Amino acid sequence: MTQTSEFQALKALIHTNLDRYEELLKKSNTPEPFLNEARMHPVIDLPNHVADKELYVTTQNLASALDMMATMVQLPSWRLMSESMATYTVFSMQMATSLQLADVIQELGGSAGKPVSVDEIGARVGLPPSRVLKVLRPLANSYIFQEASEGLFFVNNRSSLYLSEDCDVKQFVQYTSWIHPRVVPSIPDAWMKPESKDDWSPANAAFLHAFDEQHKCRDAFELFQKRIPELIPRFGVGMQACNRGAVEGVLLDYAWSELPKGTTCIDIGGGIGALMAALLDQYPNLNGVVQDRPEVVEQAKASFEKNMPDAVASGRVRFEAADFFQEIKASGPNKVYVMRMIIHDWPDKEALQILQNIKVKMEADSKVIIIDTLLQPAVIVAVRNDNAELGVCLSVVCAVKRSGR
């Protein structure tokens, strides 16, 4: 039997998944996705959208396979150099959000969405047109914004609309594009000093090396509160944005609908309640409690009062200020304790303390559900093609990059 080459196997996998993706879109009456229209997708881009499970998995497989094909067909040297210069994309996104370019283009372009020149944009934001171009063109080449013509005219597209003022993704981009360039240079110091190589305590995190030279804060969250309080609301809304895409996996991979009617889910360290909002929206059998630090709980309550006022008024969702290192407040029967993106923040000692605090509140019918990011091994996975048995080399894509599952 002739050995199928890597290229041919991957090509077949892409075709199979692309065909299946199209079939599942039609089956679910979901319109095809698009790139350059200046509007959100009417189904896929809904904040709490939950796809059919097969469609969700097929989407992830297709995106991973296409990413692998892009790597395969490019010169490795070009790919490596391109990845090493990703900082410039981060810089461009930081500038675009700080200058509110998506909103400026939307306003100047009007309801017709006419292309807007860099001269017009520059005059509005107070930058020379040449610098506006240096921000927008790299993003347009990454399919964020669209360069309508070589005459330096730009319009929004589906991706750039996520950078507009009223979108939570903008807050996530502003937070990460401001924080990460400042933290990354501190990683060698935090990791390579002989006295700290095996120190995984929060106090030795690169984040604190970057922002807390006197080491007066115990962890990043205390530093936020004491040194950079203006980042707290941005961080909260940004974490809500993490729910987009990731929430599908969370809702599809656990039988939430089978929990008894009246079950209360306690979201420990629940931020401004993005996961809880998705759970309550999809599963009428559930009630919820969002627990977090006092200033975050106030933000969560305001978010629910704006977006799900009926849940607040009926008492279906409650808010509790709590320090999970000291106490988990909610107890009693029919309780499910949920932690999403919490345990990965802490070393074993602190993680065990959180779990111990949950344990003392649990009853016989209680459950603990931990949802977190795993850096999966980049192993080779054998994939069976329906038309032929093909040994395909697929890198398992890290959850940080793809689905958050």
Handedness of CA 55, 56, 57, 58 (dihedral sign): positive
E strands within 210-305?
263-268, 286-292
Output the six-digit token pair for 319.
């808010």
Helix, strand, coil fractions of the chain, as percent rounded to 5: 50, 10, 40
Beta strands 116-117 and 367-371, pairing class: unpaired
The first and second tokens of residue 376, run together, are 């999966």
Structural tokens at position 89: 């994309």
**Among residues 41, 49, 180, 344, which one is catalytic?**
344
Judge whether 331 and 320 are in contact, CB under 8 Å: no
Q: Verify whether residue 344 is a known catalytic residue.
A: yes
**Measuring CA to CA, how many Å separate 384 from each of 102, 169, 177, 210, 379?**
43, 36, 39, 47, 16
Mind giving me the DSSP string for 371-405?
E--------B---B-SSSB-----BPPPTTTTT--
Q: Which helix (H) or strand (E) holds 81?
A: helix 76-84
What's the one-letter identity of residue 130? S
- Note whether 248 and 51 are within 8 A (CB): yes
d(CA 228, CA 221): 10
Answer whether 41's CB lies under 8 Å from 59's CB.
no
Give me the active site residues, please. Answer: 344
